[in-house]
């Protein structure tokens, strides 16, 4: 990790930069060409990309029912139990997010209300590769089911033999998801955004991924498909004071660094001894990690920064807007009152970020790359649309109608005014 002691305020923007943004334009062009290809050639293009990027020679892009049924036998019983408990915790937390429909009379005879309805067709993208994220399927599948979306399409990259990771299939079965597509990367997002012979098109796409997936999701919005948020490489920022346990902090940093070489981790502390102890502990723990080569690459773009005051640490963090924020400080809950930009916050020395990744009940699909300044993480709301309704009685029209006439005339929108006037005149005539 890069060690920085007492940087001046003018240096902060450079320290808050994420890794590797420079090739955005070239990346977008590659993704655009993939989109055009998939939209023109459909399944044929998906199979070619599967062979090129995943090494899988596919003849059928859909997971067959017998593949889904056979998955549980390949998943250890202890892991099945863990997934079921995580599922129960997520259901409990997300069920409480169901909106209540309330009606309000804004004026006598003028009734307004808002109703939540599900997004009808949703696509869930689950990364594969060296760490298939079955936990992300739980995070997306639970609220999609609770929202009662009518069609849920899961897309995930296949292994070289054309199979899908059995833990992902077991989790899909637990969630009742049966439409599963063997496709990954930007080509999967392209297929979900427009549909192919085997892939149903959807209204909204969810799920994290690498820079190609993130660019593809943003491109999908140009085709009228919504996305959950721009969610790219994982990141964590840890604020640690002199009471922090260096071993705990190092483990938290490495738990994000091992996600991928483009992940980023930051440590902020006011204690020089904690800075030294944590960086030493990171090196010690790194040597024992099975994914140490991946984590080591992420650490090259990661920073440990010594600041002067707790207020400076909080100010820096809010500017950075981390996906995950760990407050390894005394009085963490009181300190957290100053947090204005973060995807998810973990309070105190006994709350590792890993619990939110898997089983505490909160959702781990969160905004990255500074988007926590203006996006929330995935919730039940992400799978719902809010439609407003209003109804007028005779009294209501007479109360609000003249107001609308006056305002519409002032804006020069005479047809708006007439729509009210004609109704008011009809009431007078009938009376």
> What amino acid positions are annotated as catalytic residues?
323-324
The torsion of the CA quartet 390, 392, 397, 400, rounded to 10 degrees, works out to -40
Q: Which long-range contacts (CB under 8 A, 24 or more apart) does 103-109 make?
A: 107/396, 107/399, 107/400, 108/395, 108/396, 108/399, 109/392, 109/393, 109/394, 109/395, 109/396, 109/397, 109/398, 109/399, 109/400
In the chain, count of helices (H) and strands (E)? 17, 14
Q: Taking the mean position of all CA atoms in its chain, how far away is CA 108?
A: 42
| Among the listed residues 269, 252, 237, the one whose alpha carbon sits nearest the alpha carbon of residue 372 | 237
Tokens of residue 185, six digits: 């990367």
The torsion of the CA quartet 128, 134, 138, 144, rounded to 10 degrees, works out to 30
- Residue 109 burial by CB count (10 A; 0-12/13-18/19+): exposed, middle or buried? middle
Strand partners, 227: 205
Strand ranges (E), 319-380: 324-328, 344-347
Phi, psi of 185 (to 5 degrees): 70, -165
H or E stretch including 180?
strand 179-182
């Amino acid at each position: 990790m890069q060690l920085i002691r007492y940087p001046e305020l003018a240096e902060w923007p450079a320290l808050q930069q994420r890794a590797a943004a420079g090739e955005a334009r070239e990346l977008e062009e590659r993704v655009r060409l993939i989109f055009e290809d998939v939209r023109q050639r459909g399944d044929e293009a998906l199979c070619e990309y599967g062979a090129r990027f995943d090494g899988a020679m596919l003849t059928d892009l859909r997971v067959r029912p017998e593949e889904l049924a056979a998955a549980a036998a390949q998943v250890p019983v202890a892991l099945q139990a863990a997934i079921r408990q995580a599922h129960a915790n997520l259901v409990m937390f997300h069920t409480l997010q169901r909106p209540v429909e309330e009606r309000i009379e804004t004026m006598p005879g003028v009734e307004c209300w808002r109703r939540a309805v599900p997004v009808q067709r949703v696509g869930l993208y689950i990364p594969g590769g060296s760490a298939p994220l079955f936990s992300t399927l739980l995070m997306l599948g639970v609220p999609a089911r609770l929202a009662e979306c009518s069609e849920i399409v899961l897309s995930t990259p296949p292994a070289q033999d054309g199979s899908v990771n059995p833990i992902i299939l077991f989790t899909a079965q637990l969630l009742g998801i049966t439409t599963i597509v063997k496709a990954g990367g930007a080509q999967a997002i392209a297929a979900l955004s427009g549909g192919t012979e085997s892939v149903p098109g959807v209204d909204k796409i969810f799920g994290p991924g690498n820079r190609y997936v993130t660019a593809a999701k943003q491109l999908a919005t140009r085709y009228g498909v919504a996305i959950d948020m721009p969610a790219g490489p994982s990141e964590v920022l840890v604020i640690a004071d002199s009471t922090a346990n260096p071993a705990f902090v190092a483990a938290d940093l490495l738990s994000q660094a091992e996600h991928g070489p483009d992940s980023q981790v930051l440590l902020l502390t006011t204690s020089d001894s904690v800075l030294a102890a944590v960086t030493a502990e990171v090196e010690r723990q790194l040597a024992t990690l099975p994914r140490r080569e991946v984590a080591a690459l992420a650490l090259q773009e990661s920073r440990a920064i010594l600041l002067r005051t707790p207020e400076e640490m909080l100010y820096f963090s809010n500017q950075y807007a981390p996906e995950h924020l760990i407050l390894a400080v005394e009085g963490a809950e009181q300190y957290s009152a100053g947090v204005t930009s973060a995807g998810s916050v973990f309070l105190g020395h006994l709350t590792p970020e890993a619990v939110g990744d898997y089983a505490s009940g909160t959702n781990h699909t969160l905004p990255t790359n500074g988007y926590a300044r203006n996006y929330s993480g995935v919730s039940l709301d992400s799978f719902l649309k809010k439609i407003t309704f209003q109804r007028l009685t005779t009294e209501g029209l007479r109360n609000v109608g003249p107001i609308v006439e006056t305002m519409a005339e002032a804006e020069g929108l005479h047809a708006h005014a007439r729509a009210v006037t004609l109704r008011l005149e009809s009431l007078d005539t009938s009376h």
